[in-house]
Amino acid sequence: MSSHGNSLFLRESGGRLGGAGWPGRLRERLRQRALRTRLQLQTLTREHVLRFLRRNAFILLTVSAVVIGVGLAFALRPYQLTYRQIKYFSFPGELLMRMLQMLVLPLIISSLVTGMASLDNKATGRMGMRAAVYYMVTTIIAVFIGILMVTIIHPGKGSKEGLHREGRIETIPTADAFMDLVRNMFPPNLVEACFKQFKTQYSTRVVTRTVVRTENGSELGASMPSPSSVENGTSFLENVTRALGSLQEVLSFEETVPVPGSANGINALGLVVFSVAFGLVIGGMKHKGRVLRDFFDSLNEAIMRLVGIIIWYAPVGILFLIAGKILEMEDMAVLGGQLGMYTLTVIVGLFLHAGGVLPLIYFLVTHRNPFPFIGGMLQALITAMGTSSSSATLPITFRCLEEGLGVDRRITRFVLPVGATVNMDGTALYEALAAIFIAQVNNYELNLGQITTISITATAASVGAAGIPQAGLVTMVIVLTSVGLPTEDITLIIAVDWFLDRLRTMTNVLGDSIGAAVIEHLSQRELELQEAELTLPSLGKPYKSLMAHEKGASRGRGGNESAM
């Protein structure tokens, strides 16, 4: 009775304040929310608290692990542990990484094959187009935010003399890096693609060249007489005299040539391309491909059950991963000065993209509040921060989206593996921002054309990052080379890269997850039609024509009624 009275009171007060404009409506909504919260707190019981703790146990444990890990690391820093001791300390975190990476390969293949096989070619094409548009739009926006932030804050003001250098960078020509990307899309050996990627290596060879110098010192480039002299009927004696009067010189020089090579690591891009094509073929085989479809479906289900077991160990692993990384930092003072301003600029840019642009896209497309959705992804985001790998986080991302948020499995099995491979919003933002920062510390003024070149190159490089070994550094080299900036200056930002890489990975994972929700909302019609076909297989194509006929008839009835 009291709750009915409260709701009546809320409706009446809302009616009285309805004409007070949007500030009045906002105040009324906040007051209603406060009243509702007070009523919930008054009716709160022990069972409610226990149910909340059980429902959010994973998230609470993971957040607690991050807090404890950071506190433990700073408590141990005064003891100045050796590198060997830090490695022993980080061992539980290494085990978590190995467990997750163990599941990535079968999860990518099984989810993509089942996802592609469960959709018809037309629905797959539409979903693929929507995914490609979403990936491209969000990546371009991320690059724009990165350029805007580094231009406004200007963290590279000053010189690079006071900055600390760390590590070394291998310079790779841009053309070879992009050709490696295309080569990795088509691996010649699928078994080898499970643990190796193609990577161009370089060797030197000695090239000899014969140069002919005449009496006046000019080069002819060959010892043979000119064709014109032969055509003019020059005598043999004159040719001999000319040859004796010239001097042959053999020059030798070294030439760097590209040769085939490889690097350790899963060739995710090649496996994604094969799995998509294989799934489409199985889907086109209809009943003949049912056995293969059931096999990969069962494999996917088994992997997800393994994820359900490993997930209980994740908080322990994340605790030691984060604590170990903080202990590895030799000097915390590198976070000050120019590098501190650079770190702050990257954080602000990533926060604007992950906390502003992506939720706004979700709201505009689905017309739902994005923040409960982001709350449901919290465990995957914290795992991404701990592991610094969107591929290693993939099993947790699947679990959060499918079981926690109820996103259709046909969407997640297609969007998530592809997104974890090619959709790198955080990486694109970071690379554009870092390139302009390096230009600023070198007092190098970039014109509009060069900034446009950086934005295009950063977008293209981030899309193909997973197909290139040592993705972050190699793609950074590509961006710097495109505008003639010194690639060795990447060593200036390596000191804070371990921390910023974790924030980039969180942004990448959130972008993939929101992309799955957006594509599910846009593909609702195709999914419902396919469900109807699966529920009524005897109708098949006639069902679609029946639906179209019904819609046409309803439009006709509506037109007649309006005419009447």
Euclidean distance between CA atoms 323 and 386, whole angstroms: 10
437, with CB counted inside 10 A (0-12, 13-18, 19+), is buried
Mean pLDDT of 86-105: 89
Nearest to 183 by CA among 447, 401, 488, 464: 464
Residue 312 has phi, psi (to 5 degrees) of -70, -25
H or E, element range at 422: helix 409-422
The pLDDT tens digits of the residues spanning 484-541 come to 888 777 877 877 888 888 899 899 999 999 999 999 999 888 888 777 765 655 444 4
Across 16-48, b (16+ Cβ under 10 Å) vs e yields: eeeeeeeeeeeebeeebeeeeeeeeeeeeeeee
Query: Phi/psi of residue 118, each to 5°?
Result: -85, -5
User: Left (φ > 0), alpha (ψ -120 to 50) or beta: where does 488 sit?
Assistant: alpha
- Mean per-residue pLDDT, 68-74: 91
Q: What is the pLDDT of residue 465?
A: 64
Task: Decide if pLDDT at 95 tops 60.
Answer: yes
> Contact at 8 Å (CB) between 509 and 390?
yes
Select the more confidently predicted residue: 347 or 177. 347
Rounded distance between C-alpha atoms, residue 96 and residue 288, angstroms? 39
In this predicted structure, what is the pLDDT of residue 8? 41
361-374: average pLDDT: 92
Q: How confident is the model at residue 471 (pLDDT cuts 50, 70, 90)?
A: low
* Token pair recorded at residue 165: 């250098």
Q: Provide the terminal-to-terminal Cα distance of the chain, rounded to the nearest Å.
A: 48
Helices and strands, counts by H and E, the chain: 26, 4
Among the listed residues 389, 118, 121, 408, the one whose alpha carbon sits nearest the alpha carbon of residue 266: 389
Distance, in Å, from the CA atom of 462 to the CA atom of 427, rounded to the nearest integer, reads: 6
Q: Please name the amino acid found at residue 380.
A: A
Q: Can you tell me the mean pLDDT for 470-490?
A: 76
Query: Average pLDDT of the chain?
Result: 78
Here the contacts of 535-543 (C-beta below 8 Å, separation 24 or greater) are: none
Structure tokens at 375: 């709350």
Contacts of 54 (CB under 8 A, 6+ apart): none
Q: Taking a C-beta distance cutoff of 8 angstroms, is the pair 476, 358 a contact?
A: no
Q: Which of 160-174, 327-341, 443-457 has the lowest mean pLDDT?
A: 160-174
Q: How far apart are CA 359 and CA 354, in angstroms?
A: 7
Rounded Cα distance between 138 and 356, Å, is 12
- Position 3 pLDDT exceeds 50: no
User: What local confidence, expressed as pLDDT, does residue 335 receive?
Assistant: 59
Q: What are phi and psi of 232, to 5 degrees?
A: -80, 0
Identify the pLDDT of residue 10. 42
What are the C-alpha distances in Å from 341 to residues 336, 460, 489, 496, 558? 7, 27, 17, 11, 63
> Is the confidence at residue 62, as pLDDT, over 90?
no
Backbone angles phi, psi at 234, to 5 degrees: -65, 140
pLDDT band at residue 283 under the 50/70/90 scheme: confident
Query: pLDDT by residue (tens digit) across 150-167?
Result: 999 888 776 555 555 555
Taking residues 386-402, report their average pLDDT.
88
Strand (E) or helix (H) holding 256: strand 247-259
For residues 485 and 441, what is the distance between their CA atoms, to the nearest angstrom?
11
Q: Which residue ranges make up each domain of the chain?
A: 54-193+262-527
How would CATH label the architecture of 54-193+262-527?
A: Orthogonal Bundle (1.10)
Rounded Cα–Cα distance for residues 298 and 276 (Å)? 18
HEC string for 190-235: HHHHCCEEECCEEEEEEEEEEEEECCCCCECCCCCCCHHHHHCCCC
- Please choose, from the candidates 338, 541, 512, the residue with its C-alpha nearest in 3D space to the C-alpha of residue 411: 512
How many percent of the chain have pLDDT more than 70?
77
* pLDDT category of residue 17 using cuts at 50, 70 and 90: very low
Per-residue pLDDT averaged across 245-270, rounded?
75
